[in-house]
Amino acid sequence: MTEDSQRNFRSVYYEKVGFRGVEEKKSLEILLKDDCLDVEKLCTFSQRFPLPSMYRALVWKVLLGILPPHHESHAQVMMYRKEQYSDVLHALEVIRFISDATPQVEVYLYMHRLESGKLPRSPSFPLPKAFEQYLNLEDSRLLSHLKASSAVSKLPYDLWFKRCFAGCLPESSLQRVWDKVISGSCKILVFVAVEILLTFKIKVTALNSAEKITKFLENIPQDSSDAIVSKAIDLWHKHCGNPVHSA
């Protein structure tokens, strides 16, 4: 039995006896023990497996470049980052892009855009085209219904693709999606949107106006969220394949 097949056997065994992710957690802990973290391996791990909650914040910060790979620099860099956060927040208040009434998710978005030199925001956003493409592959009749209802251009794309489902999915499900986004796979957002439509196909096809469809999709039932994310990840792997590097 090869090393890969042994690992696959152990993973299946752990999952069957109720210890899903045990081996993956151990692998991550080994990566995190290095004095200089391997960003590429952490990125690949995040794309292949859900991150354990106890390590998620650290891995996200490293992948986003908030913290450097070297452990010994983390404390000092975090001090600088806190000062940077206060400066950017103050700048947005001074130029009146935000106020006390601005939703927190929008504050973070503006901060990111100011830091990346993209303020004010650009109107171009290509993910809706990919959404139509993959929905057509999975269920062309459902896409036809959306077009017949004039709903395609009115779907909650901002909620899905600009807020990355913040305010749409509960935190536990959202974290699994953001694991993929932060590790470099924004396309997972497309498949979450597609899976939402597939999951609620009966409800959506029973609605005959763009306004009703959009209103429903902006407030989907929360009890299906974990299943939606799991199926979306399966769709993502189906159409885009698996990461090629070993975690």
In the chain, domain spans: 15-64, 72-116, 127-240
Q: What was the pLDDT predicted at 2?
A: 55
Q: Where is average pLDDT lowest: 3-7, 44-48, 72-76?
A: 3-7
At 68, the pLDDT band (50, 70, 90 cuts) reads very high
- 3-state helix vs strand vs coil in the chain, percent to 5: 70, 0, 30
Q: What was the pLDDT predicted at 127?
A: 87
* CATH number of the structural domain 15-64: 1.10.10.750
Residue 243: pLDDT over 70? no
Residues forming beta bridges with residue 70, ordered by sequence position: 36
What letters, b where the CB count within 10 A reaches 16 and e where it falls short, cover 51-78? Answer: beeeebebbbbbbeeebbeebeebeeee
d(CA 34, CA 99): 42
d(CA 41, CA 95): 40
Q: Where is average pLDDT lowest: 19-23, 210-214, 236-240?
A: 19-23
The distance in angstroms from the start CA to the end CA of the chain is 20
pLDDT, tens only, 18-50: 445 668 889 999 999 999 999 999 999 999 999
Q: Which residues contact 189 (CB under 8 A, 6 or more apart)?
A: 127, 160, 161, 164, 165, 177, 181
Q: What was the pLDDT predicted at 149?
A: 95
d(CA 243, CA 245): 6
Rg (CA), the chain: 20
Q: What percent of the chain has pLDDT over 70?
A: 86
The DSSP element (H or E) to which 44 belongs, if any, is helix 39-48
Predicted TM-score (pTM) of this structure: 0.77
What is 127-240's CATH topology? Cyclin A; domain 1 (1.10.472)
pLDDT, tens only, 186-201: 899 999 999 999 999 9
Q: What was the pLDDT predicted at 245?
A: 45
